[in-house]
Structures are given as C-alpha cells and as structure tokens.
Amino acid sequence: MSFTLDFFALQGKTALVTGARTGIGQAIAIGLASAGAHVLLLGHRDNLGETKEQIETINGSCETLIVDLSEVDSIKEKLAPVLEKHKIDILINNAGTIYREPAADYDINEWNRVMNVNINSVFILSQLIGKQMIENGAGKIVNIASLLSFQGGLFVPAYTASKHAVAGLTKSLANEWASKGVQVNAIAPGYIETNNTEAIRKDEARSKSILDRIPANRWGEAEDMVGAAVFLSSKASDYVNGHVLVVDGGWMGR
C-alpha cells in the first residue's frame, strides 16, 4: 500500500495513556486525541479534569480511569472491567516517578516505589494489554524511557535502574511480539520542563550545566514528544520494532 498522510491518523483507535494528568503524558494524550483516538486517561487520583477538558476543547474523545500503579498487586483486578469494555489498540506507558538521594543512604521503600511505578507496572500493563493485542493481531506499545536508559545520572539510582529496564523490556517484548503484529517501542525524552525536573531546574548551576550540553540550546517541552508518540502509535511505524527513539535536542550526540 502506498504511503499517504492517513498512515498517521488514529481514527477508530483506542489508546490508554498512563500518567495523563500532567507533563509528557498529558501532552501525548491530547496529541493522540487530536489525531483521532479515543483516549483512556489513567491517573492515580481523581484529578484528570484538566486533561479531559483540554481534549474536549479540541472535540476529542476521552474517559478517565483511576489506578495507583505503585500498588502493583491490584492493577490486574482494576484493569479487568476496562479490558472487557475496550479493545485497546495503543498503550502509552508514561507514568513515572523519581526519588533523589545519594546511593549510600537511599531509602529502600523509595527504591521499591520507584521500581513499582516505573518498571513493574509497565510489565504488568504490557502483559495484560499485550495479550489482548496479540489476540487481535495488532497493537502499539510505547514506553517512556529516559536518557537515564543509557546514562547513570546522579543521586537517582532507582530511576536509572528502572529506566534501563524499560529499554530492555521494550526490546524483549518487541522480539516476542513483532511477528504477532504488535510493535513495542520507546521514546527517550531529553531534559523536559515538567514536574519531574523541577528540582534540577531550580538548581541554577545544575540547570546551566544541562542547558550548556543541549545542542538545541533549550530545555524540551512536553509537546516536543507528541510527534514521536503519534508516529509510534500509528500505521506509519508498522516496521519499527524494539527501538528507543531519543527526542532530546541533540544531548546524546554530544
């Protein structure tokens, strides 16, 4: 079939976006809705109103879903009615959390919380929804990785370990599911102005040293992730499998 711009269209598709209240997840949810998808907005508190409103403003379609992804034992039960009601075509594993402390003193409870939200829930959701996608013979999973899927970072050992694991899981699932019509890929955002980076943006010296290394000469915005997310959610990426797409203003090339 010859290429047309319709390859990027998401009409008739249902997407589930985790962590859709703020930042990158909010921008991606609005972007997918604008490309035509019905979007299930997942958050861990009843606070997704702003994202819902923004989607309704552009005449998009969405509904909200409350699941705490740190409580990994209850995810399956909470997702069951959603999977009965919807055939999910696109899963964006975006929700993430970060805890900063020098490694020697790192709180093990925080380690476990970060691992549960950033990687264990990603596996559980991918397994539950991936199974449905395999049965349907089609699906797109997009995981949100990080530059710390490649680098070590400072004072964020759990975050770094979890994001390396996200990159590994992306390739592992892609290898198993590519032949079944399910594409599993990831986006590795650079330094983006969201709640996640508030602490390092407030640290003037740290913020300047980061900016000095970014060839694009600016921090990224959540909206900078949307093009890559729509591409990896659409027919345009049907032969892209197990790729971690860096969207970082050139950081990794330095």
Out of 10, 17, 21, 244, name the contact with ligand NAP by CB under 6 A.
21
Q: Give the whole-angstrom CA distance, residue 127 versus residue 3.
A: 31
Active-site residue list: 159
> Would you give the distance in Å from CA 246 to the centre of its chain?
13
Tokens 């919380």 correspond to 113
The pair of structure tokens assigned to 68 is 């705490």
Q: Give the whole-angstrom CA distance, residue 179 versus residue 201.
A: 43
Q: Tell me if 95 contacts ligand NAP by CB under 6 A.
A: yes
User: Going along 44-150, which residue ranges are E strands?
Assistant: 61-66, 90-93, 139-144
Q: Tell me if 47 contacts ligand NAP by CB under 6 A.
A: yes
Q: How many CB atoms lie within 10 A of CB 33?
A: 25
Between 177 and 191, CB nearer to ligand NAP: 191
Q: Give the whole-angstrom CA distance, residue 117 versus residue 168.
A: 16
Total residues at the site for ligand NAP (CB under 6 A)?
Answer: 28
Out of 74, 195, 199, 218, name the contact with ligand NAP by CB under 6 A.
195
**Relative orientation angle of helices 157-177 and 108-115, to the nearest 10 degrees:** 30
Sign of CA dihedral 242, 28, 59, 63: positive
Q: Tell me if 44 contacts ligand NAP by CB under 6 A.
A: yes
Q: Give the whole-angstrom CA distance, residue 101 versus residue 118.
A: 17
Tokens 């402390």 correspond to 101
Which of the ranges 1-9, 44-52, 81-89, 150-158 carries the binding residues for ligand NAP, by CB under 6 A?
44-52
Between 21 and 140, CB nearer to ligand NAP: 21
Name the strands in the sheet holding 14-18, side by side, starting at the edge strand that comes first in the sequence: 61-66, 38-43, 14-18, 90-93, 139-144, 182-189, 244-247
Which of the ranges 9-17, 65-73, 103-111, 233-241 carries the binding residues for ligand NAP, by CB under 6 A?
65-73
Minimum CB–partner distance for residue 200 and ligand NAP (Å): 9
Q: Tell me if 146 contacts ligand NAP by CB under 6 A.
A: yes
Minimum CB–partner distance for residue 149 and ligand NAP (Å): 9
Residue 1-20 contact track with ligand NAP, rule CB under 6 A, x = bound: -----------------xx-
Between 190 and 235, CB nearer to ligand NAP: 190
Q: Tell me if 97 contacts ligand NAP by CB under 6 A.
A: yes
Minimum CB–partner distance for residue 182 and ligand NAP (Å): 21
Enumerate binding residues for ligand NAP (CB under 6 A): 18-19, 21-25, 43-45, 47, 68-70, 94-97, 117, 144, 146, 189, 191-192, 194-197
